[in-house]
Amino acid sequence: MPVLATVLLTNVDSIPIPLSFCGGLALVFNFIECPLACNDCPWNANVSSREAKVIGWDSKIRSLIERARPDVIVLLGGEPYESPSALSIATHSKSLGIPVALKVLGRYLTKVMQSNVAKYCDLILVEVVDSCDAQPLSLYRGRDMTMEIVLIAKNCEDAKLKVAALRVESLTPIAIILLDEEPLANQLRLLDSLRRTYPLTCMPLSPSTELASLTCPSCGAYIVLRSSGVLMKKRIQKGRCEFCSFPLRALDSRRVTKVPIAEPLM
C-alpha cells in the first residue's frame, strides 16, 4: 500500500507536466512504496516506509492546502490512487476549487479510472516506463478527459521505441525524462523525429530551450518557452495559441511563476 512521505511546493514544469498548468505552482504530495520498485525513479517512489517519515491525512495537511492555494494539487509517486490519504486530499482540494492531477502507471490506467480518486481529478498524468504501460492508453482515445504522458526512458533509442508503442491522439502532450546522459545532438534528433507524429513532445527538465519548450502544432510559434523545468514565457490564452488561436487541450494556471521554487513543506 503506497504511503505519503513528502509535501513539496514547486513549479508545475519541473514535475514535469508537459502542457497543462504550465508556469503555475503545484503542491505535490509524493507517495512511496511503489509496486514496481524501479532502481531509478524520478520521484523517489521506490523508497520503503522504513526509510522515510510517513505522513497521514490530518488537520495539518488540510490547513496546508488552504494556505498554499496552488494552481494544482499533484498526487505523485507510487500509485497514490490506492491510498486513503490521496482520496482525502483530492476531495478537500476540489471542495476549495483547486484542480487535482493524478500520476498513474499506464498498466493500471483502467483500474484507476474506476477508482474513487479519479472522480475528483482534472488531469491524469500517465507514466510510461514499459511497453505494457502504452497499451491501455488506446482505450481512452477520444474520451472527454485531459490526459498527458510522462515517459521514462534509459536513453534516446529506448525513448523512441516506447513512443512508437503509444496509440494516442497526435496532440497528446508528452514529456520525456532520460535517465542516462545523451549528447545534445542525439536528443535534438530524437525530438525532431518524434514531433512529426506527436508535435507536443518535449523534455521539460532539459536546460536546452529547444528541447524543453513547445511550439504550436498549427503555426509553429513558441507557445511554451522554458528551460530546466522553469517557465520563461507562455503564449497560451484561454486554451488557445495566442498567435493563430489553435485550440490546445490543456488546463490553464491562474498565475505564471518564472523563478525556480522547490520548498519542502512536510
CA atoms of 115 and 133, how far apart (whole Å):
18
> Cβ neighbours of residue 18 under 8 Å, at least 6 residues apart?
148, 149, 150, 173, 174, 175, 200, 201, 202, 204, 214
Q: What percent of the chain has pLDDT over 90?
A: 58
* Residue the block writes with cell 518535449: 202
Residue 1: pLDDT over 60: yes
The alpha carbon of residue 45 and the mean position of all alpha carbons in its chain are separated, in whole angstroms, by 15
Peptide bond into 16 cis (omega under 30): yes
pLDDT at position 39: 65
> Cβ neighbours of residue 84 under 8 Å, at least 6 residues apart?
57
Residue 77: pLDDT over 60: yes
Give me the domain span that covers residue 247: 3-264
Entry field: residues in the chain? 266
Number of domains in the chain: 1
Of 69, 57, 174, residue with least CA distance to 126:
174
The CB-based long-range contact list for 62-65 (8 Å cut-off, 24+ gap) reads 62/92, 64/7, 64/27, 64/265, 64/266, 65/27, 65/89, 65/92, 65/93, 65/96, 65/98
Residue 123, strand partner residues: 101, 146
pLDDT in tens, 170-187: 999 999 999 999 999 999
Residue 12: pLDDT over 90: yes
Answer for the pair 65, 97: CB distance below 8 angstroms, yes or no: no
CATH number at residue 242: 3.20.20
Q: What percent of the chain has pLDDT over 70?
A: 88
pLDDT at position 196: 96
pLDDT in tens, 231-257: 999 999 888 999 999 999 889 888 888
Could you tell me the three cell numbers for 20? 497543462
